Chains A and B, each alone.
Chain A
Amino acid sequence: MSNRRIKVLLAKPGLDGHDVGAKVVVHALMEAGFEVIYTGLRQTPGEIAAAAAEADVDVVGLSILSGAHLPLCRRIRDLLQEKGLHDTLWIVGGNIPEADRMVLKQLGYRGVFPTGSRTDEIVNFIRENVK
């Protein structure tokens, strides 16, 4: 890992308005010394991919609690790949049942953090996995 500060984009895709968890994670990542860009609610997959490319982030984090994580994560994966961001670390958190966790990992979301995950797990995961 280089000495540069780890830069994270944290996004709320789709229409889901549950942002307590996303904001808690932003606080935790900032306290851990990361640079964090929070998109706010209602971001389209296109907006998220564009923001990730423009800010040249190390990590793209998504927070989805409505249950629509599979269609949204598929679409965002496609767009991140189009932008050549397959080298960045993708993580996703939210109301994610056991059965979907493997699907998300296969899509390329290396870190999946279901509701109830500890913030230090997320921080440590990012530290260990950002190249």
Chain B
Amino acid sequence: MTSKPRDAKPSARQAIPIRRIVNESGIEIKPLYTADDVVSTGGVDASRPGEAPFTRGIHPLMYRHRPFTMRQYTGFANAADTNERFKYLIANGQTGLNVAFDLATQCGYDSDAPEAIGEVGRVGMAIDTLRDFEIAFDGIDLDAITVSLTINGAAAVLIAMYLAMAEKRGYDIAKLRGTAQNDILKEFIGRGTWIYPVDPSVKLVADTIEYCAKVAPKYSPVSVCGYHIRESGATPAEEMGYAFSIAKAYTDAALARGLDIDEFAGRLSFNFNIFGNLFEQVAKFRAGRRHWAKIILEEYGAKKPDSGWLRMIAGGGGFGLTIEQPENNIVRGAYYALIAALAGAQTMALCCYDEAYTIPTPKAQRLSLRTMQLLIEEIGLADTVDPLGGSYYIETLTNQLEEKIVEAMNWVDAKGGIVKAVSDGVIQAKVSQYAYQRQKALESGALRKVGVNCYMDSDEEKPEVALHGYDEMGAIEQIESLRKVRAERSNDAVARSLATLRADAQAGRNVMPAMMESVKAYATVGEMSNALVDVYGRFQEPTKIWYRVA
């Protein structure tokens, strides 16, 4: 700081009582920030972008070198319909894919399982075997377009399918890039597509990290999600703190396999939310980058600087969107995109304006894509790195947010660590209590929401919203094609590979090699998931204590 801090001159204005404002993370917001605030909270991090601890960005030139990847969440019905939508988005300038799977796939059931009734192809694409993956990615250049699979409980199966599909098409999987969400711990806290109990679930994540480190070292096997925890009920600081606690649990599990931290830490990625106060969000990302770098480089002693990169997709904002006055979501989406760009996200995805209540229409998806493109082409967001860096307000908040992130991580540690906190249900309890307080604040009007508790439409002005239809015939066709695959494949080869999978799981070996063999034999998602259920059992959700624990 070279400029001399000056206190605001006393004036008649100071007599006006000002409303106390505390942001969601619990930091009191002053009406004015000066250099003194920055100094008293720890000063400005003098590192340049691309230098540890990466407060200002993980790359020296950030968007000046390459704008953020645009990766809208897409997938519905079957592989053929989804393939068509992928191609539509790519033709419109989208630079990555973010794949949505239906709930049967996500929970490890085949399309003809009784549990899948009514869900086949509903909230995402139905996948039963490798055949579906071959169709879904047909004609898409997997080197030019990186693919992110939003899959968790069944992640080991679908990572194997993706690698096998790419290998079959002639790609060298040692060079293949891509990401799987594969963050099971957050599924127990929010989102809910778990299959196995907590401990074997974490073991499977470690299997994928270990396998990818050896076989597909450019592939990102995990994207740790603060995102859904924030949606389910957490402050921005807790969102980041809990994500780091989770990421540390996976890191410890991978280290226990004998991997070196530098073999895999650089491939860990993250997924964060962007709704809420703009400045608080931007500070959250800056503080998060700095703190993650400290964890990996100082605490774990990584040698490669890029092991400490907080690589992330930032986006969504689902909780911020409303079914009331849905057009307002177009405006919210634009502000959320601005937040992600100001925060220096490598990859961005926006919830579409109709996504508060339905699967987005192509028009809504194109609008989200255009929103992101506008930032780069018209508004100048890609011109300079960390444009808010140096602001007294942002620098102060960055320092304060880092403290709050540490507080959230300490809370988890006090509960015995994230795996125990999840198994006991105490973190679920905390998150659901926050959600209830948030709902009460919305209902009382203490938390203002345009179109919901202020500036509401009168009843007759309420628009009828259009919902994405569900095609029952599509489910029948999916089941027919699954039965065709079952009839055509070598059932002996399937039985052999599944037996190996079960035996490897039983013996505590890495299941990924057997998973690859099973996938290549066209075993189904349900068959592979059930083989592991035979060994691990199914998760039983703790429901008795979650509303009582403080």
Q: Do A and B come from one complex?
A: yes
Taking a contact as CB atoms under 8 Å apart, the answer to whether A17 and B187 are in contact is yes
Segment at the interface with A among B103-111, B330-338, B483-491: B103-111
Does the CB pair A15–B115 fall under 8 Å?
A: yes
Stretch at the interface among A23-31, A52-60, A82-90, A101-109: A23-31
Number of interface residues of A (CB under 8 A): 34
Contact indicator per residue, chain B 220-232, by CB within 8 Å of chain A (1) or not (0) = 0000000000011
Nearest chain A CB to B23 CB, angstrom units: 21
Whether B300 is near chain A, meaning CB under 8 Å from some CB there, is: no
- B37-66 contacts to A, CB under 8 A, are none
List residues of chain A with CB within 8 A of the CB of B542.
40
- Nearest B-chain residue to A121, judged by Cβ: B443
B439 within 8 A of A: yes
Known: A30-B547, A67-B470. Contact between A41 and B541, CB under 8 A?
A: yes
Contacts of A20 in B (CB 8 A): 190, 231-233, 432, 435
A-B contacts at CB below 8 angstroms, number: 95
* A71 vs B358: C-alpha distance when bound (angstroms): 18
Bitwise interface map of A from 96 to 123 toward B, beta carbon under 8 Å scored 1, else 0: 0110000000000000001110111000
Cβ-based interface call for B427 (8 A): no
B357 within 8 A of A: yes
Question: How many Å lie between the Cα of A38 and that of B115 in the bound state?
Answer: 20
Query: For residue B107, which residues in chain A have a CB less than 8 angstroms away from its CB?
Result: 15, 42
- By DSSP majority rule, is chain B's interface helix, strand, loop, or mixed? loop
Instruction: Assess the A15–B119 pair: CB atoms within 8 A.
Output: yes
Contacts of B546 in A (CB 8 A): 23, 38
Chain B residues near A38: list those with CB within 8 A: 543, 546-547
Complex interface: chain B residues within 8 A of A26 (CB)? 547
Question: Which residues of A sit under 8 angstroms from B452, Cβ to Cβ?
Answer: 116
Q: A97 → chain B, closest Cβ, in Å?
A: 5
For B109, B436, B467, the residue with the greatest tally of chain A CB atoms inside 10 Å of its CB is B436
Whether a CB of chain B sits under 8 angstroms from the CB of A39 is yes
Give B117's nearest chain A residue, CB to CB: A71
What are the 9 tightest A-B residue pairs by CB atom distance, in nearest-first order?
Answer: A17-B192, A40-B541, A71-B118, A15-B103, A68-B118, A27-B436, A40-B543, A23-B432, A24-B439
A-B contact sample (13 more), CB < 8 A, given A15-B106, A17-B190: A15-B104, A15-B193, A18-B191, A30-B547, A38-B547, A42-B107, A44-B115, A66-B122, A67-B467, A97-B467, A98-B464, A114-B323, A119-B439
